Amino acid sequence: MNNIHDMGGITQFGPIPQETDEPVFHAEWEKRVFALNIASLAFLGPVDRARHAVERLNTVEYLNSSYYQRWLRGVEIMAKDLGYFTDEEIASGKATSTKEMPHPPPDAAAVEGLSRHGVPSTRDDDRQPAYKTGDKVRVRIMETKGHNRAPNYVKGKSGLITHFNGSHVFPDTHAHDKGENAQPLYTVRFEAKTLWGENVTRKDCVYIDLWEDYLESA
């Protein structure tokens, strides 16, 4: 989806806001939103859906919201999409409907286990990678209405595969309940000159992880 979350390459957001002795959370409500988001993924997830919910925010709202405000909106959007909340309930905070839950919510031990063990995205399959280290590839130019993790600044650009990372769950389908579609994930190196212009002379590069469906031979 084309939105402002895909902001790599913009230079005019101003100075980077640094802070000394920064707390983990800047307000009690931020801590609560963090916890709500992670705990509710048991029903609202996977994480790909959560990322996409934030990406779908109105562009101006995205820019005018703080980080945890966007996370809160993400929870609202997912809960509504999946039929857990209505607009009226969100506005009032009062439940007027019920939906049968398939299992109880995770308890403290369950979320501690989640934190400790995570949710690996690799899948053991026998899918052979189409490309190998050293291959030159181009990022396909794709119109995507849904979730997609190929940033615009690399689309149509060519780079070299530096590493094959095994098969990983494909966010473009996983975010939309269309299956894991695990496929080869490659690390691709792009030269600054390729990304930003022939007149670039500085010795910089960007490495980025890209799924096989995003790539074509170059």
Partner 1 sequence: MTTHNHDTPNPYHKSDRDDAANKAIEERVDKIESLLLEKGLVSQDALEKLADIYENDLGPMNGAKVVARAWVDDEFKKRLLDDATSAIAELGYGGLQGEHVVVKENTPEVHNVVVCTLCSCYPWPILGLPPNWYKSFAYRSKVVIEPREVLAEFGTSLADDVEVRVWDSSAEIRYLVLPERPEGTGNFSEEELAAIVKRDDMIGVTTVTVP
Q: Which of residues 66-125 bind partner 1 (CB under 8 A)?
A: 66-69, 72, 75-76, 79, 84-85, 89-93, 95, 98-99, 101, 104-108, 110-112, 114-122
Of these, 57, 77, 137, 206, which contacts partner 1 (CB under 8 A)? 206
Rounded least distance, CB 138 to partner 1, Å? 16
Q: Does 133 bind partner 1 (CB under 8 A)?
A: no
User: Stretches 8-16, 129-137, 176-184: which one binds partner 1 (CB under 8 A)?
Assistant: 8-16
Of these, 10, 60, 132, 143, which contacts partner 1 (CB under 8 A)? 10
- Applying CB under 8 A, the site for partner 1 has a residue count of 99
Of these, 157, 168, 173, 182, which contacts partner 1 (CB under 8 A)? 168
Rounded least distance, CB 104 to partner 1, Å? 7
Contact 177, 164 (CB under 8 A): no
The nearer residue to partner 1, 58 or 122, going by C-beta atoms, is 122
Rounded least distance, CB 48 to partner 1, Å? 10
Maximum distance among all alpha carbons in the chain? 62
**Which of the 8 DSSP states describes residue 46?**
-
Please list the alpha-helical segments (H only) found in 131-199.
171-174, 192-196
Residue that has been written with the tokens 């960007």 in this structure: 206
Rounded least distance, CB 149 to partner 1, Å? 5
Give the C-alpha separation, 118 to 21, whole Å.
28
Structure tokens at 99: 């939906």
Contact 165, 186 (CB under 8 A): yes
The nearer residue to partner 1, 32 or 178, going by C-beta atoms, is 32
Q: Among candidates 53, 171, 188, which has minimal Cα distance to 121?
A: 171
- 171, exposed or middle or buried, with CB in 10 Å at 0-12, 13-18, 19+? buried
Of these, 45, 129, 146, 151, which contacts partner 1 (CB under 8 A)? 151
Q: What is the DSSP track for 127-140? A: PPPS--TT-EEEE-
Structure tokens at 60: 């101006």
Rounded least distance, CB 181 to partner 1, Å? 14
Rounded least distance, CB 50 to partner 1, Å? 10
**Cβ-based neighbours of 2, under 8 Å, separated by 6 or more:** 152
